[in-house]
Structure 1
Amino acid sequence: MKTPVVYVALQQFCEADAAPRQRLLEAGFEVRQNTLGRRLRREEVPTFLAQADAVIAGVEPYDAEVLAALSKLRCISRCGVGTDSIDVDAAQRRGIAVYTTPDEVTEPVAQLTVAMILALARNFPQHLAASRAGRWEKRTGVLLSEWTVGLIGFGRIGRAVARDLSPFGPRLLVTDPALSSGEAPDGVQRVELAALLAQADVVSLHASRPPHAGALLGRHELASMKPGSYLVNTARGHLVDDAALVEALQSGHLAGAAIDVFATEPYTGALSQMPQVLCTPHVATLTRASRAAMERRAAAHVVEWWTQASCLTPTS
């Protein structure tokens, strides 16, 4: 029986724990890895994965055309929660199994979100910019109990953010089409998107939306936000129109933003140069414990898939 090949498309793999690679090797896989130091581009995926039976995937695209070029691929094990970059229907039609690691990302993303909200409340971006420029400038911040926080999306991560924010005492609003009117927990008020944007002092994104659907927060939605409010995005870069966000910040309509995800990465655009904006390089899940847990789970999915596939495949 041939040696199965798994391609690890992640930029980092087994940095904190060698167990995922070891498990793949013990299961009989040849492990090949992305050594570019960056995310694979769409046009590169068919080349690097040409011999792969399985891939431990990041957020590189697996649309129908890419999948059609990967004749050997039968398993996509996503190291993360979202499948926005994967055409799941096309994968199913081609007999490709798709797995994710939803439980492992909840706490790290929620913690970074809360850290960003606290940083905006106390003007960390502006204080840091002034300090690095040699200026001793003080800006008065706010307590979170003075704020209304609006959460767009109330799945695992949105609920964890609400839980972690509650002890600080903010008013919590949430909008989610999957949430029924009586489903919001105590201390959380369910509202429509328009009402949330108009009332929230800080809006935090925790939603899922395919890239082809366009931005959830475009020019109109950003203009509908409360004057002087803030935006936090630790969800998906394509949820926000970056150009419209820059305009809203430059005009002063929005007071600031904290962004971990961008439509195009690596991101070197105007937001990274604005003193009222806190930018991080897509690191919401990147803690030692959570990353190791995600990689272990992703590797386990590949091994489980291969074990099942081997049982169904007759040997000569």
Structure 2
Amino acid sequence: MKLQDYFSDDQWLPRVALTLVLLIVFVAARRMATRLVRGKADVLDAMGRRQVFYVRSAFNLALAFALLMIWLGHVQNLVLSLTAVIVAVVLATKELLMCVSGFALRTGASLFSIGDWIEVNGLRGEVSDYNLLSTTLLVLAPPERGHGYTGEVVVIPNSLFLSHPVRSGRLKHHYVQHAFSVTVEAGIDVKAALAWWARAASAACADFAEEAGRVSVAVDRALSADVQGPAPVIHVGSTDAGLLSFSVQLFCPAARSLALQGALNADFLAVVAQGEFALAGADQSTATRAGD
């Protein structure tokens, strides 16, 4: 039997068998090539991530082209015979198709899973359930209110994933990068204040420092990027009114973020009021305005 006879219109079995073989070969080859590019590195830089993307894209394109060559005749016949039906179905079920497409995007891109925190179209919450048409979120309070649950449940259509960007929080054990600031009058010893913040923030995070370190390493490995943490980050700047603003970022459990912020702010304002950071010969007048 000639080769073209295997690919005649009534020869489905060889096409299916060849398709399965191609899928297995391409998937295995893509994984091997990706591992070769990554090497033994857990965290990739921008160039490494770009190379992995190019390798995967090349294999995906080659696989799509090979499958198209195998099934081109059948696809053409099917499209021509069902064009009118497809157009009618698409018009009648547009929203449903968009929801299913959104589910496919979530699955194919691994956007999130149960327990992840996501934000889409201004809605922020923890994913508690999802299906072919919708996703259920437990609504979370904004960061300045501590990341806790509000008690509300919202169900969003999966079609939103096609029209709006999705922010997915992949930090393990519900750790967050909690940022806040405290503003005081100028005229204090900034270096001494920064040293105080470094000591106080590290001491406040000491009881969960070991777990935070493990979580930080796991996040870096999962994202192939160096995410800031687990050490506290302190910056100082000035406001338009000429006040000093100390900005703090803590890598901490979400449930403890507000308590840590309140305790650190109170301690800092207390030592400022006591004149601990007063410059020699300066008439110290401190303002105590804390904010997120």
Same-fold call, TM cutoff 0.5: no
Larger Rg: 2
Q: Looking at secondary structure, tell me which structure has more helix per residue.
A: 2
The TM-score, its normalising length taken from structure 2, stands at 0.24
